[in-house]
Structure 1
Amino acid sequence: MANDQVLVLNVSYEPVILIHWHRAICLVMAEKVTVEAVEDGRALRSATAEFPYPAVVRLRRYVPATRASSLGCSRRSVLRRDGFLCAYRASSPVCATRAASVDHVVPRSRGGGDEPTNLVAACVPCNQLKANRTLRELGWSLHRVDPAHAMPLFDLEDVPVAWRPFLPVAA
Protein backbone atom coordinates (compact mmCIF):
# COMPACT_ATOMS: atom_id res chain seq x y z
CA MET A 1 0.00 0.00 0.00
CA ALA A 2 1.26 3.41 -0.85
CA ASN A 3 2.05 5.60 2.12
CA ASP A 4 0.02 8.46 0.63
CA GLN A 5 -3.24 6.59 1.25
CA VAL A 6 -5.55 7.37 4.16
CA LEU A 7 -8.05 4.87 5.57
CA VAL A 8 -11.60 6.21 5.88
CA LEU A 9 -13.87 4.73 8.54
CA ASN A 10 -17.62 5.06 8.81
CA VAL A 11 -19.16 6.54 11.97
CA SER A 12 -19.37 2.97 13.26
CA TYR A 13 -15.60 2.48 12.72
CA GLU A 14 -16.08 0.18 9.72
CA PRO A 15 -13.44 0.60 6.98
CA VAL A 16 -15.10 2.20 3.96
CA ILE A 17 -12.50 3.33 1.43
CA LEU A 18 -8.92 4.43 0.88
CA ILE A 19 -8.35 7.98 -0.28
CA HIS A 20 -5.34 10.12 -1.15
CA TRP A 21 -4.00 12.33 1.63
CA HIS A 22 -4.92 15.48 -0.38
CA ARG A 23 -8.58 14.46 -0.25
CA ALA A 24 -8.30 13.58 3.45
CA ILE A 25 -6.95 17.03 4.29
CA CYS A 26 -9.79 18.66 2.33
CA LEU A 27 -12.32 16.58 4.30
CA VAL A 28 -10.63 17.51 7.61
CA MET A 29 -10.70 21.22 6.72
CA ALA A 30 -14.37 20.95 5.69
CA GLU A 31 -15.04 19.26 9.06
CA LYS A 32 -16.57 16.21 7.39
CA VAL A 33 -14.16 13.79 9.06
CA THR A 34 -12.34 13.42 12.36
CA VAL A 35 -8.70 12.37 12.42
CA GLU A 36 -8.47 9.09 14.37
CA ALA A 37 -4.78 8.29 13.87
CA VAL A 38 -1.79 10.16 12.55
CA GLU A 39 1.46 8.99 11.05
CA ASP A 40 4.34 9.44 13.48
CA GLY A 41 7.17 11.61 12.29
CA ARG A 42 5.24 13.10 9.36
CA ALA A 43 3.55 16.46 9.12
CA LEU A 44 2.03 18.65 6.46
CA ARG A 45 3.46 22.15 6.54
CA SER A 46 2.35 25.43 5.07
CA ALA A 47 3.94 28.85 5.42
CA THR A 48 2.03 29.51 8.63
CA ALA A 49 0.84 26.17 10.01
CA GLU A 50 1.74 22.56 10.59
CA PHE A 51 -0.78 19.69 10.54
CA PRO A 52 -0.26 16.08 11.57
CA TYR A 53 -0.29 13.70 8.61
CA PRO A 54 -3.58 11.74 8.80
CA ALA A 55 -3.39 7.95 8.62
CA VAL A 56 -7.00 7.16 9.58
CA VAL A 57 -10.04 9.44 9.43
CA ARG A 58 -13.62 8.79 10.52
CA LEU A 59 -16.69 10.21 8.81
CA ARG A 60 -18.89 12.41 11.00
CA ARG A 61 -22.09 11.25 9.26
CA TYR A 62 -23.05 7.67 8.52
CA VAL A 63 -22.66 6.63 4.89
CA PRO A 64 -24.10 3.29 3.74
CA ALA A 65 -21.02 1.17 3.10
CA THR A 66 -21.93 -0.25 -0.30
CA ARG A 67 -18.30 -0.35 -1.39
CA ALA A 68 -16.97 -1.82 1.85
CA SER A 69 -17.22 -5.39 0.58
CA SER A 70 -14.68 -4.75 -2.16
CA LEU A 71 -12.38 -2.50 -0.13
CA GLY A 72 -8.99 -4.10 0.04
CA CYS A 73 -10.00 -6.69 -2.50
CA SER A 74 -6.97 -6.15 -4.69
CA ARG A 75 -5.52 -8.36 -7.39
CA ARG A 76 -2.71 -9.26 -5.01
CA SER A 77 -5.06 -10.22 -2.17
CA VAL A 78 -7.16 -12.46 -4.47
CA LEU A 79 -4.04 -14.19 -5.82
CA ARG A 80 -2.71 -14.67 -2.30
CA ARG A 81 -6.08 -15.99 -1.05
CA ASP A 82 -6.13 -18.59 -3.86
CA GLY A 83 -2.50 -19.57 -3.39
CA PHE A 84 -1.51 -18.29 -6.86
CA LEU A 85 -3.24 -21.34 -8.38
CA CYS A 86 -5.73 -21.17 -11.23
CA ALA A 87 -9.30 -21.76 -10.05
CA TYR A 88 -10.14 -23.46 -13.37
CA ARG A 89 -7.30 -26.02 -13.35
CA ALA A 90 -9.68 -28.94 -12.74
CA SER A 91 -11.61 -28.49 -15.99
CA SER A 92 -9.82 -26.18 -18.41
CA PRO A 93 -7.98 -27.74 -21.37
CA VAL A 94 -5.46 -24.87 -21.58
CA CYS A 95 -4.63 -24.31 -17.92
CA ALA A 96 -1.10 -23.22 -16.99
CA THR A 97 -1.86 -23.82 -13.27
CA ARG A 98 0.10 -20.79 -11.99
CA ALA A 99 -2.31 -17.83 -11.72
CA ALA A 100 -1.20 -14.39 -12.82
CA SER A 101 -4.55 -12.69 -13.29
CA VAL A 102 -7.91 -12.31 -11.61
CA ASP A 103 -11.16 -13.38 -13.26
CA HIS A 104 -14.82 -12.68 -12.55
CA VAL A 105 -16.65 -16.00 -12.12
CA VAL A 106 -19.85 -14.28 -13.27
CA PRO A 107 -18.59 -11.82 -15.91
CA ARG A 108 -19.23 -8.14 -15.31
CA SER A 109 -21.04 -8.01 -18.67
CA ARG A 110 -23.49 -10.56 -17.21
CA GLY A 111 -24.09 -8.71 -13.96
CA GLY A 112 -21.17 -10.01 -11.90
CA GLY A 113 -19.59 -7.59 -9.48
CA ASP A 114 -16.17 -6.95 -8.00
CA GLU A 115 -16.93 -8.50 -4.62
CA PRO A 116 -14.48 -11.11 -3.27
CA THR A 117 -17.03 -13.90 -3.75
CA ASN A 118 -17.04 -13.33 -7.53
CA LEU A 119 -13.27 -13.02 -8.00
CA VAL A 120 -10.87 -15.91 -8.43
CA ALA A 121 -7.23 -16.31 -9.40
CA ALA A 122 -6.78 -17.54 -12.98
CA CYS A 123 -3.92 -18.24 -15.32
CA VAL A 124 -3.82 -16.04 -18.43
CA PRO A 125 -4.77 -18.81 -20.92
CA CYS A 126 -7.86 -19.78 -18.88
CA ASN A 127 -8.86 -16.17 -18.37
CA GLN A 128 -8.63 -15.46 -22.11
CA LEU A 129 -10.47 -18.64 -23.11
CA LYS A 130 -13.25 -18.03 -20.59
CA ALA A 131 -13.68 -14.41 -21.75
CA ASN A 132 -17.21 -13.23 -20.87
CA ARG A 133 -18.80 -16.68 -20.72
CA THR A 134 -20.14 -18.43 -17.66
CA LEU A 135 -18.73 -21.66 -16.24
CA ARG A 136 -21.93 -23.45 -17.22
CA GLU A 137 -21.55 -22.40 -20.89
CA LEU A 138 -18.02 -23.79 -20.96
CA GLY A 139 -18.78 -26.89 -18.91
CA TRP A 140 -16.10 -25.85 -16.43
CA SER A 141 -16.10 -25.95 -12.66
CA LEU A 142 -14.09 -24.17 -10.02
CA HIS A 143 -11.30 -26.18 -8.47
CA ARG A 144 -12.12 -24.58 -5.14
CA VAL A 145 -15.67 -25.36 -4.06
CA ASP A 146 -16.38 -22.08 -2.26
CA PRO A 147 -14.96 -18.84 -3.69
CA ALA A 148 -16.48 -17.02 -0.72
CA HIS A 149 -14.25 -18.65 1.89
CA ALA A 150 -12.61 -16.34 4.38
CA MET A 151 -10.78 -13.46 2.79
CA PRO A 152 -9.55 -10.77 5.11
CA LEU A 153 -10.51 -7.24 4.24
CA PHE A 154 -6.84 -6.36 4.21
CA ASP A 155 -3.67 -8.38 4.30
CA LEU A 156 -2.20 -7.07 7.55
CA GLU A 157 1.37 -7.50 6.26
CA ASP A 158 0.76 -4.76 3.71
CA VAL A 159 -0.92 -2.07 5.79
CA PRO A 160 0.59 0.75 7.84
CA VAL A 161 0.85 0.14 11.56
CA ALA A 162 -1.51 3.06 12.30
CA TRP A 163 -4.35 1.28 10.44
CA ARG A 164 -4.13 -2.07 12.24
CA PRO A 165 -6.31 -1.25 15.27
CA PHE A 166 -9.13 -0.25 12.92
CA LEU A 167 -9.08 -3.30 10.62
CA PRO A 168 -10.69 -6.71 11.06
CA VAL A 169 -8.30 -9.43 12.14
CA ALA A 170 -7.03 -11.49 9.21
CA ALA A 171 -8.50 -14.97 9.09
Structure 2
Amino acid sequence: MNAVTHHMGMGRLQITQNWVGPVWSLVGIGQVIASALNPIELAICVGQIEEVTPAAVADFTRSVDQFSKSLRRAGFIGVKGGSTAVAALVSERVHPAALPAVRNKPMSFGSVVVPAVVDLGQRQLHIATNTPMIGMAVWGGVRDQARTYLPEPRAVFG
Protein backbone atom coordinates (compact mmCIF):
# COMPACT_ATOMS: atom_id res chain seq x y z
CA MET A 1 0.00 0.00 0.00
CA ASN A 2 2.95 2.32 0.62
CA ALA A 3 4.07 1.87 -2.99
CA VAL A 4 0.57 2.72 -4.25
CA THR A 5 0.46 5.80 -2.02
CA HIS A 6 3.84 6.86 -3.41
CA HIS A 7 2.67 6.46 -7.02
CA MET A 8 -0.55 8.38 -6.28
CA GLY A 9 1.48 11.20 -4.75
CA MET A 10 3.81 11.32 -7.75
CA GLY A 11 0.71 11.55 -9.98
CA ARG A 12 -0.57 14.45 -7.89
CA LEU A 13 -3.77 12.68 -6.90
CA GLN A 14 -5.64 13.79 -3.79
CA ILE A 15 -5.06 10.88 -1.41
CA THR A 16 -7.53 9.89 1.30
CA GLN A 17 -8.78 6.80 3.03
CA ASN A 18 -12.47 6.06 2.89
CA TRP A 19 -15.04 3.29 3.02
CA VAL A 20 -15.80 2.12 -0.49
CA GLY A 21 -18.66 -0.28 0.07
CA PRO A 22 -17.61 -2.57 2.93
CA VAL A 23 -13.86 -2.16 2.27
CA TRP A 24 -11.65 0.46 3.97
CA SER A 25 -9.73 1.76 0.97
CA LEU A 26 -6.90 3.98 -0.10
CA VAL A 27 -8.41 6.45 -2.57
CA GLY A 28 -6.63 8.71 -5.03
CA ILE A 29 -8.74 11.30 -6.86
CA GLY A 30 -7.76 13.35 -9.87
CA GLN A 31 -9.02 14.40 -13.27
CA VAL A 32 -8.57 12.75 -16.63
CA ILE A 33 -10.03 15.73 -18.47
CA ALA A 34 -10.12 19.03 -16.60
CA SER A 35 -12.37 20.73 -19.16
CA ALA A 36 -15.26 22.88 -17.99
CA LEU A 37 -17.27 21.57 -20.94
CA ASN A 38 -17.20 17.91 -19.90
CA PRO A 39 -14.98 17.13 -16.88
CA ILE A 40 -13.99 13.50 -16.37
CA GLU A 41 -12.92 12.49 -12.88
CA LEU A 42 -10.52 9.67 -11.97
CA ALA A 43 -10.70 7.57 -8.80
CA ILE A 44 -8.12 4.92 -7.92
CA CYS A 45 -9.62 2.79 -5.12
CA VAL A 46 -7.39 0.18 -3.51
CA GLY A 47 -8.65 -2.07 -0.75
CA GLN A 48 -6.80 -4.79 1.13
CA ILE A 49 -8.88 -7.82 2.09
CA GLU A 50 -8.32 -11.27 3.59
CA GLU A 51 -8.97 -13.24 0.37
CA VAL A 52 -9.97 -12.16 -3.12
CA THR A 53 -12.93 -14.17 -4.43
CA PRO A 54 -15.12 -13.72 -7.52
CA ALA A 55 -17.86 -12.21 -5.35
CA ALA A 56 -15.38 -9.77 -3.75
CA VAL A 57 -14.21 -8.60 -7.20
CA ALA A 58 -17.80 -8.06 -8.40
CA ASP A 59 -18.95 -6.35 -5.18
CA PHE A 60 -15.94 -4.04 -4.91
CA THR A 61 -16.20 -3.06 -8.58
CA ARG A 62 -19.89 -2.13 -8.09
CA SER A 63 -19.02 -0.17 -4.94
CA VAL A 64 -16.27 1.73 -6.75
CA ASP A 65 -18.73 2.52 -9.56
CA GLN A 66 -21.13 4.05 -7.03
CA PHE A 67 -18.29 5.95 -5.35
CA SER A 68 -16.92 7.31 -8.64
CA LYS A 69 -20.38 8.46 -9.75
CA SER A 70 -20.52 10.63 -6.62
CA LEU A 71 -17.45 12.51 -7.94
CA ARG A 72 -19.10 13.56 -11.22
CA ARG A 73 -19.48 17.32 -11.64
CA ALA A 74 -21.77 19.32 -13.87
CA GLY A 75 -20.23 20.39 -17.16
CA PHE A 76 -20.57 23.67 -19.03
CA ILE A 77 -24.13 23.15 -20.21
CA GLY A 78 -25.38 21.44 -17.05
CA VAL A 79 -24.78 17.88 -18.25
CA LYS A 80 -22.89 15.81 -15.72
CA GLY A 81 -19.35 14.90 -16.67
CA GLY A 82 -18.03 11.37 -16.56
CA SER A 83 -16.03 9.32 -14.13
CA THR A 84 -13.37 6.68 -14.55
CA ALA A 85 -12.05 4.44 -11.83
CA VAL A 86 -9.80 1.54 -10.97
CA ALA A 87 -11.15 -0.96 -8.44
CA ALA A 88 -8.10 -2.82 -7.08
CA LEU A 89 -8.17 -5.47 -4.40
CA VAL A 90 -4.93 -6.44 -2.64
CA SER A 91 -4.42 -9.72 -0.81
CA GLU A 92 -1.94 -12.45 0.05
CA ARG A 93 -4.62 -14.99 -0.92
CA VAL A 94 -6.43 -14.98 -4.25
CA HIS A 95 -8.97 -17.70 -5.00
CA PRO A 96 -8.20 -19.21 -8.45
CA ALA A 97 -11.76 -18.48 -9.63
CA ALA A 98 -11.29 -14.78 -8.84
CA LEU A 99 -8.96 -14.08 -11.76
CA PRO A 100 -11.52 -14.85 -14.51
CA ALA A 101 -13.85 -12.41 -12.69
CA VAL A 102 -11.37 -9.58 -13.34
CA ARG A 103 -13.17 -8.43 -16.49
CA ASN A 104 -14.33 -5.06 -17.73
CA LYS A 105 -18.10 -4.72 -17.81
CA PRO A 106 -20.21 -1.67 -18.57
CA MET A 107 -21.42 -0.43 -15.19
CA SER A 108 -23.55 2.70 -15.30
CA PHE A 109 -24.00 5.56 -17.74
CA GLY A 110 -21.09 8.00 -17.65
CA SER A 111 -18.64 5.81 -15.76
CA VAL A 112 -15.94 3.29 -16.63
CA VAL A 113 -14.49 1.07 -13.88
CA VAL A 114 -11.55 -1.27 -14.48
CA PRO A 115 -11.11 -4.05 -11.90
CA ALA A 116 -7.67 -5.23 -10.80
CA VAL A 117 -6.20 -7.70 -8.33
CA VAL A 118 -2.81 -7.36 -6.68
CA ASP A 119 -1.83 -10.89 -5.69
CA LEU A 120 0.89 -10.47 -3.06
CA GLY A 121 1.24 -14.24 -2.55
CA GLN A 122 2.21 -14.83 -6.19
CA ARG A 123 3.60 -11.30 -6.63
CA GLN A 124 1.45 -10.59 -9.66
CA LEU A 125 -0.75 -7.75 -10.85
CA HIS A 126 -3.90 -8.67 -12.77
CA ILE A 127 -5.73 -5.89 -14.64
CA ALA A 128 -8.81 -6.54 -16.77
CA THR A 129 -7.77 -6.59 -20.42
CA ASN A 130 -11.02 -7.10 -22.33
CA THR A 131 -12.67 -4.11 -24.04
CA PRO A 132 -16.48 -3.86 -24.05
CA MET A 133 -18.12 -2.08 -26.98
CA ILE A 134 -19.77 0.51 -24.74
CA GLY A 135 -17.15 3.15 -23.92
CA MET A 136 -14.47 1.33 -25.90
CA ALA A 137 -12.50 4.53 -26.50
CA VAL A 138 -12.00 4.99 -22.74
CA TRP A 139 -11.13 1.48 -21.49
CA GLY A 140 -7.50 1.52 -22.68
CA GLY A 141 -6.84 4.86 -20.98
CA VAL A 142 -8.22 3.63 -17.66
CA ARG A 143 -6.12 0.45 -17.93
CA ASP A 144 -3.07 2.68 -18.45
CA GLN A 145 -4.01 4.61 -15.28
CA ALA A 146 -4.18 1.28 -13.40
CA ARG A 147 -0.67 0.39 -14.57
CA THR A 148 0.57 3.84 -13.57
CA TYR A 149 -0.75 3.76 -10.00
CA LEU A 150 -0.54 0.02 -9.21
CA PRO A 151 3.09 -1.09 -9.27
CA GLU A 152 3.92 -4.70 -10.09
CA PRO A 153 4.49 -6.54 -6.79
CA ARG A 154 7.66 -8.10 -8.20
CA ALA A 155 9.10 -4.60 -8.76
CA VAL A 156 8.25 -3.60 -5.17
CA PHE A 157 9.22 -6.79 -3.34
CA GLY A 158 11.88 -8.15 -5.69
TM-score (norm 1): 0.21
Larger % of helix: which?
2
Larger % of strand: which?
2
